[in-house]
Chain A
């Protein structure tokens, strides 16, 4: 099968890619671009581990063809920190025990980031709703929700500085 050649925008950079056209965005990110921070738990759109942001919205990269993503802004966990400095959500996740094994963490962090872009100070219920498509087997979710609340607080503090 002929490879598709196209330019993807990943974490703000234009990346030239060549891949089999049936490949999902998940596969292209992990296998062709070496961005293994995006995880997979089912490849069927059931667990949320592979969530990335496409044009700012959380999308399951296992259900998207990479071909569909030309011209769209893709953001993965590798693009979340600001240089060497953690994004406030990453810092609050690390500080408050929101990442145990860390496998569902990239998907949840990006989902939370998208939520906070829309709603800078969401209620606990809104947070629970936003991450309800991301399965976590380790935490029981409470420390994740607390970390998102704390991350939102830190981001609001930053923007009022």
Chain B
């Protein structure tokens, strides 16, 4: 291969280093107006009245909108259409938007917000998941399971509890993973305008233009064909721009009403309150192990703090239990989950979507198991690896697994054997692994259409234009698509012009989330490019008097031995022979083998694997944690552009380490006279701590290439999976360094000190959750695993009630 696997400057690299990449807030249109949103100062309240008159009369104000202008709800998942663009009656978190002002400039709009008079009837805010369980009233939403419980899920794949009870060793551990947020450096922005043809256009920093398109059609009650959504390149996404945003819908409405372009750019504080980030999750793992280190069963319970709305939460909750089975052989598995509503900004998907939390617990528990069994943690894992081309207890079909090579690589490169448990007090090594999806097997809304489409046009100049709905969020989706087309057609990737993320021009791709673009859009691009290649080959073969199959496409030429044409000459011949040249390709993932209700979350065309070793130095006097080096090996199947692949791995390591050490999306209560509002403790980039270049350790990154037959040229994902092992590897390293367990994220110096104090007093040297509340999990859906005669369906008759 001439392009795939070669380190290259990305096709959009020049634009990015010259400042020419045009982000949403860089767009300015003639006659453009500016919008600001009025946001609730209460965490939970009913709106008794709202008076817009003074704001409407303010000089420079063109339009004021409120909840009555938006009768239709929206939501990213069909089952949770629970948000209004502007809340008409009920506000559910501090920051929930309820009115909008459009004015000549931002200052006027901001000033006019103060002139809107709202009378609220404050309700008691629910601050935490435990409080949501304990207080069914006041209800945050009228829908859900009961009280403030949004969603309950329970599955049993084999008799896990019985298997655990009969095991040589039983481990029961509680873990907590605090919420944190994406923090893209680009604040969300959009511009809405009426096109010259009278149709609505919206430029937005979104990862999911197709879903925004659908939501606009629904909320504005317009035909989708009269709406065009253009995803501008995102200045960082990480999942934070995968939800439908209130401001997108409201700006679009304002542009329709006024017939003028309307822009909004959120300020940094608003981005913190917009959130849709990592769910705080409390977890209880009960795991059985044989004395020689094989898992017999696992019973995982999770309690997920969802915040004020549904967002992706139903899917996020499934993901807190979906991928426990794909790394290690697990014959029986029970999973119970609950997502509750609280009066905080809604949680949603952040890099790893629901899986970093349980991965944290699982990998620390394995470290504890290894210690109890007097086994090396790496050897323990190597002895229980899931098998390639197998089906798991919860009916996920695994293809290739490069995890063994990942583990062996980081063990060797970190000199694990000579250093683990052998470093002086205060220094330690920790190991952990992870796995992730290469795109979700099913789309968010049920349909039988492809998840990704690519269209290619060739013209007689030799120009290749690629159209795809995929969204460039920095990960390099344009580059990967250009590379794949260039490889097939034998040209330079810079010869391919990418037109992406524009619902008015490009075939549908569901968006840049769930690590799906390389695999899905990549396969669609191969299909389209192969069709064109066949046409070019047929035309060129006539000219060169050779069988089409014998032609080589490489280095911008179509050739057989010494006879050859330039690529452009071949295009001219093909255009003369076939007419205007174009082709489409599409991709639909294979169906997963699970057929039970709930089997839709977890299946993927392929799974990526990662292993990681973290080295740490812990100061026992201050609790300060220093991380000098991290070794990471990621099973990517095949790296399309190794420069970008390495960047994705290292960016994931950074983000995982930053949330493991310091990032927290946490709230404090204001006093009663301020309605006990739950406000963000640190909604600024200065106080919401994240790792800078000074704290970032050296990273030793290795890409493991074991091509997967479902990936384009064998490629699997790399954007999310490498985050997963980092937090537990850090926790395990701290244990190796100073002998204390920190079973919750973030791991801060005060927690290390507290655990060291407990150790000094002879108490359990651990900081972490102490109890798991009573959760009314429903009776489990019983699905026998493949090796117990199951066919992927649930068993119709439930037996005994599940253990609560």
Contacts and interface: CB of A to CB of B under 8 A. Distances in A.
Interface of A: 30-31, 34, 36-44, 46-47, 49, 76-78, 80-81, 86, 90-91, 93-97, 99-106, 109, 127-129, 131-145
Contacts of B686: 44, 46
A80 B473 contact: no
Contact of B475 (A31, A100, A134, A136): A100
A-B pairs with the 3 shortest C-beta distances? A37-B19, A101-B474, A102-B16
B26 A36 contact: yes
A41 B268 contact: yes
Contacts of A134: 693
B65 to A, nearest CB: 25
A138 B652 CA distance: 8
Contact of B696 (A40, A101, A133, A141): A141
Given A44-B685, A100-B476, A138 B267 contact: no
23 contacts: A39-B235, A42-B685, A47-B185, A76-B19, A90-B17, A93-B13, A94-B9, A94-B13, A97-B644, A97-B646, A100-B644, A101-B235, A101-B474, A102-B233, A128-B696, A135-B692, A136-B693, A138-B474, A140-B652, A142-B696, A142-B698, A143-B650, A144-B693
Contacts of B646: 97, 143
Interface string B166-185: 00000000000000001111
B372 interface: no
B684 A42 contact: yes
A86 B9 CA distance: 13
A36 B19 contact: yes
Nearest to B688: A46
A101 B234 contact: yes
B16 A95 contact: no
A137 B475 CA distance: 12
A143 B647 contact: yes
Nearest to A49: B185
B696 A140 contact: yes
B22 interface: yes
B20 interface: yes
A138 B651 contact: yes
A31 to B, nearest CB: 8
Contacts of A137: 182-185, 236, 238, 651, 655, 690
Contacts of B418: none
Contact of A101 (B9, B183, B236, B693): B236
Contacts of B690: 135, 137
Contact of A99 (B17, B23, B692): B17
The SS class assigned to the A binding surface is loop
- Which of B17, B267, B685, B690: most chain A Cβ within 10 A? B17
Given A36-B25, A135-B685, A139-B654, 8 more contacts: A78-B19, A97-B646, A101-B16, A103-B186, A104-B185, A129-B694, A132-B692, A140-B650
Nearest to B22: A36
B36 interface: no
A105 B655 CA distance: 18
A34 B690 CA distance: 31
Interface string B640-669: 000110110011111100000000000000
A141 B693 contact: yes
A145 B699 CA distance: 12
B710 interface: no
Contacts of A39: 19, 23, 185-186, 235
A145 B234 CA distance: 23
Residue from B10, B15, B185 whose CB has the most chain A CB atoms within 10 Å: B185
Nearest to A140: B654
A34 B233 CA distance: 18
Contacts of A99: 13, 16-17
A38 B19 contact: yes
B647 A138 contact: yes
Given A137-B236, A137-B238, A105 B651 contact: no
A102 to B, nearest CB: 3
A41 B187 contact: yes
A101 B233 contact: yes
Contacts of B694: 128-129, 132
A102 B235 contact: yes
Interface string B1-21: 000000001101111111111
Contacts of B12: 102
B692 A97 contact: no
Contacts of A143: 643, 646-647, 650
Contacts of B234: 101
Contacts of B9: 94-95
Nearest to A137: B236
A143 to B, nearest CB: 6
Contacts of B25: 36, 40
Interface in B194-208: none
Contacts of A109: 17
B647 A97 contact: yes
Contact of B14 (A46, A94, A133, A140): A94
Contacts of A145: 693
Most chain B CB within 10 A, of A36, A78, A102, is at A102
B235 A141 contact: no
A46 B684 CA distance: 8
Contacts of B475: 100
A31 B34 CA distance: 13
Contact of A86 (B10, B18, B267): B18
A97 B652 CA distance: 14
B684 A102 contact: no
Q: Which of B20, B182, B183, B693 has the most CB of A within 10 A?
A: B693
Nearest to A47: B685
B106 to A, nearest CB: 10
Contacts of A140: 647, 650-655, 696, 699
A128 to B, nearest CB: 4
Contacts of B238: 137
A81 B16 CA distance: 12
Contacts of A127: 693
A153 B339 CA distance: 54
Nearest to A127: B693
Nearest to A108: B693
B651 A42 contact: no
Contacts of B26: 30, 36
Given A42-B268, A76-B19, A101 B186 contact: yes
Contacts of B183: 137
Contacts of A136: 185, 693
Residue among A41, A46, A90 with most chain B CB within 10 A? A41
